[in-house]
C-alpha cells in the first residue's frame, strides 16, 4: 500500500520568529521596518504551502497570528490557501484549528516569556504576562497551541522560529520537523540568514513534515490541567482574578484548573485581554 500523507494543513503564522526579524521596529505597525516584515510573513507561509503541496497536501488555511492579526495582505498569500485575518478572533492564534485539518505548522513562532536566550520572547502578551505555567512548567505559545491542536485531533509536524522555539517543539513533540530561522544574540538581537535561504529551508521542511505527519501523534491533553499566569503587576492579577473559578496563586499570579483544555485556553485568552484594563489611561 502507498504511504499515506497528510493532505490538509492549518498554518499559524506569527511574526517574532520570522527570518530577519529581531527588533520591535519589525513587529509593530508603526515600526520603520514593519512593512518588510509583514511581507516576509506571507513569503514564509507561501514557502510552506509550496513544500507541503509538493508532498501531496492540497487544502490549506493560514491564520495570521501576530498582534492585531491583520498583517498579511490577502493578495500576497498563495491562492491555494484560505486566510484568516482580523482583530479579536474568538480563538486568537488558534482560530480555525478546529476545521478538521490533518496537521499543523507553526511558523514565525518565538520563545516563551522569560527565556534567557530568545528573540522578542513573550507568551501571548509581552506588556502584561511575566510567565505562563502549565502544570507548574513555564511554557510558550508553541506548547499552548500544540495542545489545542491535539484536542481537535491534529498533529503538529512543523515548527519554525529561533533556537529556543525549535527546542521547545522538539522536547514536546518527538519527530516534529523544525526550521531554525535565526540565532538569538539577545532579546533584540539575532544572527540571521537571507530570507530566501529561510524560505528554501521551509519548503524542504514542509515537504518533510507532510511525509512525517502520519507517524506523529496528536498531543491530546488528558486529565486535569492547571494554567497559571504571573503578570507584570498585582493590579493586572486583580483583573484576571475576576474570572469565575480562578484563584489567586501569588501576589501577581492567578491560576485556573480544568479537565477541559478548551476551557483552559478560553481562560488564558480572557485573562490576557482583561489584565491590560488595570493600566491607568495616562500610562
Please list the active-site residues: 122
Residue partners of 134: CB distance under 8 A and separation at least 6 = 143, 144, 147, 225, 226, 227, 228
Specify whether the CB–CB gap between 138 and 114 falls below 8 A: yes
Strand partners, 161: 109, 180
Strands 225-231 and 129-134: antiparallel
DSSP letter for 277, please.
G
CB burial of 109-131 (b: ≥16 within 10 Å; e: otherwise) equals: bbbbbbbeebbbbbbbbbebbbb
For cell 528554501, the residue is 200
Distance CA 97, CA 265 (A): 13
Among 44, 42, 55, 40, CA closest to 8: 55
The Cα 165–Cα 33 span in angstroms is: 23
User: Nearest 5°: phi and psi at 110?
Assistant: -140, 170
| Beta-ladder partners of 191 | 183
Task: Measure the CA–CA gap between 22 and 39, rounded to whole angstroms.
Answer: 15
Question: 132: part of which helix (H) or strand (E)?
Answer: strand 129-134
CA–CA separation, 34 vs 70, rounded Å? 12
Amino acid at each position: 500500500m502507498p504511504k499515506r500523507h497528510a493532505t490538509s494543513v492549518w498554518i499559524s503564522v506569527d511574526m517574532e520568529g520570522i527570518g530577519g526579524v529581531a527588533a520591535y521596529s519589525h513587529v509593530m505597525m508603526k515600526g520603520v521596518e514593519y512593512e518588510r516584515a509583514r511581507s516576509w510573513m506571507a513569503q514564509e507561509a507561501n514557502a510552506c504551502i509550496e513544500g507541503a503541496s509538493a508532498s501531496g497536501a492540497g487544502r490549506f488555511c493560514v491564520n495570521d497570528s501576530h498582534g492585531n492579526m491583520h498583517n498579511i495582505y490577502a493578495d500576497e498569500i498563495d491562492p491555494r490557501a484560505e486566510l484568516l485575518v482580523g482583530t479579536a478572533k474568538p480563538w486568537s492564534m488558534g482560530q480555525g484549528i478546529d476545521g478538521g485539518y490533518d496537521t499543523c505548522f507553526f511558523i514565525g513562532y518565538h520563545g516563551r516569556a522569560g527565556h534567557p536566550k530568545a528573540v522578542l520572547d513573550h507568551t501571548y502578551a509581552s506588556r502584561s504576562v511575566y510567565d505562563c505555567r502549565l502544570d507548574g512548567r513555564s511554557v510558550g505559545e508553541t506548547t499552548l497551541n500544540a495542545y489545542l491542536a491535539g484536542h481537535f485531533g491534529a498533529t503538529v509536524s512543523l515548527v519554525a522560529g529561533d533556537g529556543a522555539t525549535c527546542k521547545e517543539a522538539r522536547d514536546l513533540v518527538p519527530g516534529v520537523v523544525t526550521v531554525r530561522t535565526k540565532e538569538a544574540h539577545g532579546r533584540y538581537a539575532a544572527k540571521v540568514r537571507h530570507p530566501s535561504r529561510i524560505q528554501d529551508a521551509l519548503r524542504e521542511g514542509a515537504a518533510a513534515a507532510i511525509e512525517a505527519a502520519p507517524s506523529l501523534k496528536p498531543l491530546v491533553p488528558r486529565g486535569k490541567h492547571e494554567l497559571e499566569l504571573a503578570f507584570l503587576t498585582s493590579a493586572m492579577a486583580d483583573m484576571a482574578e475576576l474570572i469565575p473559578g480562578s484563584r489567586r496563586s501569588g501576589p501577581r499570579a492567578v491560576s485556573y484548573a480544568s479537565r477541559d483544555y478548551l476551557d483552559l485556553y478560553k481562560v488564558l485568552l480572557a485573562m490576557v485581554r482583561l489584565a491590560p484594563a488595570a493600566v491607568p489611561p495616562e500610562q
